Amino acid sequence: MQSENLLVVETEKKKKRKSMKQFAFIGPHLVLFLIFILIPTIYGIYASFTQWNLIGEPEWVGLSNFKTLLFDKSSTFHFQLRNGLKNTLLFVGLTVPLQILIPLTVAVALENKKVKFKSLFQAIFYIPGLISVSAAAIIWLLIFNPRLGPVNNLLSSATVWMVNQPNAWAIIVFMSLWGAIGGNLIIYRSAISGVSADLYESADIDGAGPVRKFFSITLPSIRFPLFYTVVMSTAGAFNVYAQPLMITNGGPEQSTHVMMMYIRQLAFGTGESVAGMASAMSVLLGLVIVSISVFQFIVMYRNSKG
């Protein structure tokens, strides 16, 4: 009887030690998540219902900030929401499809047995993603510098690219793609390498061409990594901030001024802060991102079932 009790006590001690080890692993991440993600998010949602200048106490105003942003056409905040959302959606529409198609095409091409130096090509695409956005912006600003840039020297032109559309958007999109393609390329190459070679051999026997094999074997086999990259690329594109800030500072005529720039400007710009309005704009942007992500999930889930 005593030995059974000792066994039970020892088992309980082992369970406690195991749970302590698990907490030791996830504890620091959980604490950081609470401090830097969850609590600021909850407080930001609360601040969106207040009038707050970051110094005094927030004053509860209910849905007033949202009404101004969504319906008051005479308000500057309403214009900023419309213009920022339009420019952000334009950036998402221009970059996300290319962030998926270009690395997917390159990944499929690199699977061809005739292609040599695959790792070198992969590194060439991946290295720009390791460069900070600030450094990348300086590189692109130098490339398109009106007097010193190689583009203008090659074209014998004096064009100031960043002050005209669509040149300003083109440079922002090129710079964003330059840094974003490598990550998705690694994911696609890893997913494609996991597809059974037997499927391709069977397709060869049946006389299937490269296009048929891509749509009938490769694409269905990598649908989950593909879904992941679509959702993450979309969410990342909605949070675009540094590229237009560094390249055009929102110009010309606010045509590249995105939502995150307005939010930052309202909360931490010059003059008195309107952090409550900035928080309301952030909440609306978050709702847009969640809605589109849910829509993407539903569409891709149904397609995978079909």
7-63 residue pLDDT tens: 777 777 777 777 777 778 888 889 999 999 999 999 999 999 999 988 889 999 999
How far is it, in rounded angstroms, from Cα 183 to Cα 126?
Answer: 6
Whether pLDDT at 165 is above 90? no
pLDDT at 3: 67
Place of tokens 């105003």: 61
Token code pair at residue 269: 């710009």
Average pLDDT of the chain to the nearest whole number: 89
How far is it, in rounded angstroms, from Cα 140 to Cα 128?
Answer: 12
Cα dihedral angle (101, 105, 111, 115), rounded to 10 degrees?
Answer: -150
How far is it, in rounded angstroms, from Cα 277 to Cα 84?
Answer: 14
Q: Using one digit for the tens of pLDDT, what is the confidence trace for 119-141?
A: 898 899 999 989 898 899 999 99
Asked whether 53 and 273 are in contact (CB, 8 A), the reply is: yes
pLDDT at 304: 66
- Give the Cα-Cα-Cα angle 178, 166, 234 (nearest 5 degrees): 45
Asked whether 175 and 90 are in contact (CB, 8 A), the reply is: no
Q: Using one digit for the tens of pLDDT, what is the confidence trace for 237-277?
A: 999 999 999 999 988 889 999 999 999 999 998 888 899 99
How far is it, in rounded angstroms, from Cα 132 to Cα 226?
Answer: 25
How far is it, in rounded angstroms, from Cα 19 to Cα 23?
Answer: 6
How far is Cα of residue 203 from the mean position of the Cα atoms in its chain? 36
Place of tokens 């962030």: 99
pLDDT at 296: 81
Token code pair at residue 98: 């290319």
User: Per the omega criterion (within 30 degrees of 0), is the bond before 166 cis?
Assistant: yes
How far is it, in rounded angstroms, from Cα 220 to Cα 191?
Answer: 11
